[in-house]
Chains A and B, each alone.
Chain A
Amino acid sequence: MDAQVVLKNVTKRFTTKTLGDIVAVDNFNLEVYEGECFSFLGPSGCGKSTTLRMIAGFEDLTEGEIHLCGNPVSVKNKNLYVPPEERGLGMVFQAFAVWPHMTVFENVAFPLRIQKLNRADVEKRVKEALRHTSLQGLEDVYPSDLSGGQQQRIALARAIVTNPKVMLLDEPLSNLDPKLRESMRFELKELQRKFNFTIIFVTHDQSEAMALSDRMMVCDMGRIMQIDTPENLYNKPINRFVHSFLGESTFLNVVIKDGKVYAKGDMENPLDLDIPANAEEEMILATRPNAIELTGNKGYKTFIKKRIFLTDRTEYLVQIGDQTMKVQTPHRVTFAQGESCCVNFIDPMWYPVEDKAAEEERRRRQLV
């Protein structure tokens, strides 16, 4: 597989009035391969959108270089910069950004007209793009007469009509309602399969990223945290941030003593767990609410503190030591509030106790 988008030591610094220097993107190194769907995921202000805009050519780099399809497009120390219109990308924005003064046909034909293609070719390729985005028959309609989903399809058609190698998507589904969002995901995948372009995709919605991507990058505060497949990111997050950012998490402060694991606040009944390889005296046990087994007799004995019915599962709060943990089960597993029960952890993750400095930095940045 060829690396189609390459970022080498890409750094972007801003100066703000309130906070002084902010490193929006800190030394990103990254390769996106041909035909891959790669997503940038992170909370707002993590640098994902800035990175995308640097790839598109709307933002300058402070340091580093970017290569597209083997050609350098931004190299800071050689002062090389290719303007966005010459990078040959496709791009779709969150706010649709379809031109309201043009009909659907004209919108999609615009990139081809810029390339000075002849009439018949334009017609043919637009027709094809519209067919792939199920917009046939709407050629002469103005975008303002269409729904959000249809407008986003125009934006998609406009992006694929030039047959770009790389497609940049900036939260393309966030403005749509949940049902539409789900079906558009499948449509996007279908399109990718047909046209075989590389997708770089920015989102803060983790389930969307997981459903769509082959690999993803989780970043926080301008730094790359982890790059991997969705399954690996979810099942083996490298730190507490990634764990809590992807999917629901539930944490337990534990004390490890004499080869046994105790929940803080209960040094009498050990948990039925092997100690981790890098055991420290105090650690954080991290797991998912639906990866905790709730049974009548096997495991750590406790009781149900609270039961909340969710629409698709039941959520229990159980007391473990002096802490409360969240457990989720299908509706068919029923315990009553106050009933005693046993919990069992299956393959939990272990992290060192909280990193205060990182928390502080996050709070500082949120003030921006």
Chain B
Amino acid sequence: MIASLKRKKRDLAAIDGRHFSLDGAMTVLSFILLLVIVVVPIFMIVYNAFFDQGKFSLDLICEQLSKKDNLISMWNTIKIAVLVTILGTIMGVFYAWLLGRSDIPCKGLMRALFNIPYMFPPFLGAMAWDLLLNGRSGYLNKWFVDVFNLSSAPFNINSIGGIVFVELSYYFPFVFMQVVSAFERMDPKLEECARIAGARQGTVIRKITLPLVTPAISAGALLILISSLAHFGVPSILGFSQGIYTLPTKIYAVISRSGGSFEGIRQGAALSIMLVVVVAAALIIQKKVLSSGSYDIIKGKSMRPTLIKLRGARIPLFVLAVLTLVLIVIVPLAMIFLVGLVKAYGLPLIPENFTLANYTKVFASSGTFNSISNSLFVSIAAGIICMFLGTLIAYVVQKIKPRGKGVLEVLSVLPYSIPGTVLAIGVILAWSGKLGVNLYNTIWIILIAYLARYLSFSMKTSSAALLQVHPSLEEAARTCGASHTESLKDVTLPLIRPAMVSGFFLIFLPAMREVTTSVLLYGPYTRTLGVQIYSLRDAGMMPQAAALGSVAIVMIIVCNTIVTAITKDRKGV
């Protein structure tokens, strides 16, 4: 009797849409988790940068700002990012147009190949180019010197130009992908109308086509800008030897020089504030640009655009595209594999010098296995936890819509805009004993950083999927006799499962190759794969680093193949 009365009461609440038992708990949980994962580290950076022994002080910031080399690295950061953005945009738009709107041959294959750089970690590319074009001992440089009898190496990859070149080859796909899909979804009638109005083909491209894809171009360009500002891998590999620093690498250098002392970390925190200011400026521009230029030209469905005949330029442009692909995709990958086979760095790359010793050495060392298992562990753990956490938050935001859902949304997306280096410092400050929990030098601190860094990925995919689940699907289940919990379990969850799985892989893949945050967080036994390659190379063991690098490449290719296979046959929502 009492039980039934109780049940009736709960049901009444359920009808009002206040499913207190479940929805309330979910909401509260989301807030608490985001507080711990996101708010605390960010707060700690700000606190430590501006407060000295509990007192507000700008001394630290001023001190850092007054150092000349800090300002130089800030300038470098901006210079590199702007150059990469401009060149990457030009390159991305050019190739997008070539592959999207012209009659160049082998389009499908080339499009797939142009997306490849997106898969691989840029720091491996930087390593490869360093091996090829290093000012003193790069293979290609030596070849040039020998063949053309030059007195000095013609190229020096360890320069701002070199950094820009390598970053460019990894970041231009951002623009390329955006613009290609915009070209594809543009209504060809918009261009036909301009022809009817009297405009020639060339005028149509200038006045109609390009302006119409401008939003896509600027979205991609700003993505490049922000990624490049926060980028660590390439400048750290190419810049350290010549003393070229960017803000992220400077932060790393300050901390590693101080041996992880608190003073070093505080300096790092102050530098982080500088980096955040730069990135925030870029984010503000992004927000402005994106909101001003949102046309609804781009229809959802694919159109069949009229292709422009290249005529005589068709073959030369095809060759150009193939050469670009060789240069940015094949050369670096091949280089990593070849150097991984060579007996000692510097020996010519001929079969007599090849050996498998590097691989045996790499696999024989416990460090390798440790790093691989560490990486697998944190990546899988981060993937799974984020998958559920992201879905939880997405559900709260999309379906329960409590007061403060905007805050939830912002908090879960915020860490993605924060450079990895900065996030790492926040995590160190928060979880190395100052708040009573000491996770420093354990794998858990890396995991926490990954959670914050990648949460937005799964949150975004789950949100998109939940938006697709029309409320009537759940309501139909309710009227068919399912309680609120049951309808969640039987209808909503199965429907967003494919999105959750792809959310997992969206996190797992980049986490496997991550180096920016883990390089600041690793301890003696908690190296990740990226860190292990990085430190092998740091220790001068080039062939071994390359061997491990090629292992990483193979792993990435295998994982990607699996992901494509899985996501291909998922059920449509």
Query: Are B193 and A91 interface neighbours, CB within 8 A?
Result: yes
Contact of A85 among B187, B195, B211 (CB under 8 A): B195
Cα distance A57–B198 when bound, in Å? 12
Q: CB-CB < 8 A to B193: which residues of A?
A: 91, 93, 97, 99, 155, 158
Cα distance A57–B195 when bound, in Å? 10
| CB nearest to B196 among chain A residues | A91
CB contact list, B223-238 vs A, under 8 A: none
Cα distance A111–B193 when bound, in Å? 10
| CB nearest to B195 among chain A residues | A84
- The smallest C-beta distance from B301 to any residue of chain A, in angstroms, reads 11
Q: Does B190 contact A (CB under 8 A)?
A: yes
Cα distance A338–B133 when bound, in Å? 96
Contact of B207 among A58, A110, A162 (CB under 8 A): A110
Q: CB-CB < 8 A to A158: which residues of B?
A: 193, 197
Query: Are A99 and B190 interface neighbours, CB within 8 A?
Result: yes
Query: Are B198 and A93 interface neighbours, CB within 8 A?
Result: no
Q: Does A115 contact B (CB under 8 A)?
A: yes
0/1 per residue, A79-100, Cβ < 8 Å to B? 0000111111111010101011
Q: Does A193 contact B (CB under 8 A)?
A: no
- The smallest C-beta distance from B215 to any residue of chain A, in angstroms, reads 9
Query: Are A110 and B192 interface neighbours, CB within 8 A?
Result: no
Given A101-B214, A110-B207, are A85 and B295 neighbors across the interface (CB < 8 Å)? Answer: no
CB contact list, A158-194 vs B, under 8 A: 158-159, 162
Q: CB-CB < 8 A to B293: which residues of A?
A: 101
Tally of B interface residues using CB under 8 Å: 22
- The smallest C-beta distance from A249 to any residue of chain B, in angstroms, reads 34
Q: Does A114 contact B (CB under 8 A)?
A: yes
Query: Are A110 and B297 interface neighbours, CB within 8 A?
Result: no
Query: Are A97 and B198 interface neighbours, CB within 8 A?
Result: no
Q: Does A144 contact B (CB under 8 A)?
A: yes
Query: Are A110 and B194 interface neighbours, CB within 8 A?
Result: yes
Q: CB-CB < 8 A to B194: which residues of A?
A: 99, 110
Cα distance A122–B189 when bound, in Å? 24
Q: CB-CB < 8 A to B195: which residues of A?
A: 57-58, 83-85
Query: Are B295 and A110 interface neighbours, CB within 8 A?
Result: no
- The smallest C-beta distance from B210 to any residue of chain A, in angstroms, reads 10
0/1 per residue, B275-294, Cβ < 8 Å to A? 00000000000000000010
Q: Does A56 contact B (CB under 8 A)?
A: yes
Given A100-B295, A144-B296, are A111 and B198 neighbors across the interface (CB < 8 Å)? Answer: yes
Q: Does B567 contact A (CB under 8 A)?
A: no
Q: Does B203 contact A (CB under 8 A)?
A: yes
- The smallest C-beta distance from B196 to any residue of chain A, in angstroms, reads 4
Contact of A162 among B197, B200, B208, B296 (CB under 8 A): B197
- The smallest C-beta distance from B506 to any residue of chain A, in angstroms, reads 31
Cα distance A102–B353 when bound, in Å? 64
Q: Does B199 contact A (CB under 8 A)?
A: yes
- The smallest C-beta distance from B175 to any residue of chain A, in angstroms, reads 18
Contact of B189 among A85, A97, A159 (CB under 8 A): A97
- The smallest C-beta distance from A121 to any residue of chain B, in angstroms, reads 15
Q: CB-CB < 8 A to A155: which residues of B?
A: 193
Q: Does B212 contact A (CB under 8 A)?
A: yes
Query: Are B297 and A100 interface neighbours, CB within 8 A?
Result: yes
Q: CB-CB < 8 A to A101: which residues of B?
A: 211-212, 214, 293, 295, 297
CB contact list, B329-387 vs A, under 8 A: none
Query: Are A84 and B297 interface neighbours, CB within 8 A?
Result: no
Query: Are A99 and B198 interface neighbours, CB within 8 A?
Result: no
Cα distance A89–B293 when bound, in Å? 31
Query: Are B198 and A100 interface neighbours, CB within 8 A?
Result: no
Contact of B199 among A100, A114, A159 (CB under 8 A): A114
Q: CB-CB < 8 A to B203: which residues of A?
A: 114
- The smallest C-beta distance from A5 to any residue of chain B, in angstroms, reads 15
| CB nearest to B213 among chain A residues | A101
Cα distance A162–B197 when bound, in Å? 8
Cα distance A233–B506 when bound, in Å? 62
CB contact list, A125-169 vs B, under 8 A: 144, 155, 158-159, 162
What are 8 A-B pairs with beta-carbon distances under 8 A?
Answer: A58-B192, A84-B195, A84-B196, A85-B200, A91-B192, A91-B193, A91-B196, A93-B192
Interface residues of B (CB under 8 A from A): 187, 189-190, 192-200, 203, 207-208, 211-212, 214, 293, 295-297
Interface residues of A (CB under 8 A from B): 56-58, 83-91, 93, 95, 97, 99-101, 110-111, 114-115, 144, 155, 158-159, 162
Chain A to chain B: the 8 pairs with minimum beta-carbon distance, closest first? A100-B295, A111-B197, A97-B189, A84-B195, A114-B198, A91-B196, A101-B211, A100-B297
Kindly list 4 other residue pairs between chains A and B, CB separation below 8 angstroms, not including A144-B296, A162-B197: A57-B195, A110-B194, A111-B197, A144-B295
